[in-house]
Amino acid sequence: MSDRLISRLRGMVARAVIRLVNDEVGLQAVQVSTTADNDPDDVERLQNYGFSSVPFAGAEGVALAVGGSQAHMIVINVDDRRYRIKGLKSGEVAIYDDLGKSVLMGRDGMELNGGGQPITIKNTPKVRIESNLEVTQDIKDRCDTAGARTMSQMRTSHTGHTHTSATAGQPTSTPNQSL
């Protein structure tokens, strides 16, 4: 084999370190370092359909020279060892970010972790839970309105409340009933 052919084969697959990211184009474009002398710009980064991320500088991936041409490189499988969730069991899957937010599909169930930030469900007419709902903190009703009340406040305000029957003066319930 000629030295030129061997050099092209060696350059077809390389470890890439992300330097810059442009997420404003059709396929995300990255600048990468593959060797001390090679920092190609506008390298297309292929991501799996339905999943998108913008990696930090320093994340690592695989650079492929399509057809052996350094002029036509793509980057795949970008990961960042600084933020990756470690210690998963075989078969478990996680989606995560650098702020500690994650979705874990684990052997013992699913876990949605907001990393200390609110979790918002948007643009849906209904959320259905087809099993028991257990809440370790209070629940607030109509939280974006002035009359917002927690379940605890509603329980407290209900104490001592009576309902009257159609017959004037005849109670249908007794005061201080428990919920």
8 A C-beta contact, residue 63 and residue 73 = yes
* 148 occurs within a structural domain: yes
Write down the pLDDT at residue 20.
Answer: 97
- By CB atoms closer than 10 A (0-12, 13-18, 19+), residue 76 is middle
Q: How many CB atoms lie within 10 A of CB 130?
A: 4
* 178 occurs within a structural domain: no
Residues 104 and 52 grouped into a single domain: no
* 171 occurs within a structural domain: no
* 54 occurs within a structural domain: yes
8 A C-beta contact, residue 78 and residue 18 = yes
* 147 occurs within a structural domain: yes
* 105 occurs within a structural domain: yes
End-to-end Cα separation, the chain, in angstroms: 84
Residues 61 and 9 grouped into a single domain: yes
Collect all residues with Cβ–Cβ distance below 8 Å to 28 and sequence separation of at least 6. Answer: 21, 22, 44, 45, 47, 52, 54
Residues 30 and 58 grouped into a single domain: yes
* Domain span at 36: 3-79
Residues 103 and 143 grouped into a single domain: yes
* CATH code of the domain containing 16: 2.40.50.230
Q: How many domains does the chain have?
A: 2
CA–CA distances in Å: residue 49 to residues 18, 92, 95, 120, 169? 21, 20, 15, 23, 67
Write down the pLDDT at residue 169.
Answer: 64
Residues 58 and 106 grouped into a single domain: no
Q: b or e along 92-118 (b: 16 or more beta carbons within 10 Å of the residue's beta carbon)?
A: eeeebeeeeebebeeeeeeeeeeeeee
- Going by C-alpha positions, the residue among 49, 50, 88, 44 that lies closest to residue 62 is 44
Point out the domain boundary residue: 79, 113, 141. 79
Write down the pLDDT at residue 146.
Answer: 80
* 163 occurs within a structural domain: no
CA–CA distances in Å: residue 118 to residues 42, 94, 101, 113, 121? 35, 19, 10, 10, 10
Mean pLDDT, each 10-residue run in order, the chain (179 residues) = 77 92 97 82 95 97 89 94 97 97 97 95 93 88 78 72 62 57
User: Can you say how many angstroms the Cα of residue 35 is from the centroid of all Cα atoms in its chain?
Assistant: 32
Write down the pLDDT at residue 153.
Answer: 78
Write down the pLDDT at residue 141.
Answer: 79
Residues 61 and 37 grouped into a single domain: yes
* 135 occurs within a structural domain: yes
Residues 74 and 33 grouped into a single domain: yes
Residues 75 and 105 grouped into a single domain: no
C-alpha span between 17 and 13 (Å, rounded): 13
> One-letter amino acid identity for 151?
M
Residues 17 and 73 grouped into a single domain: yes
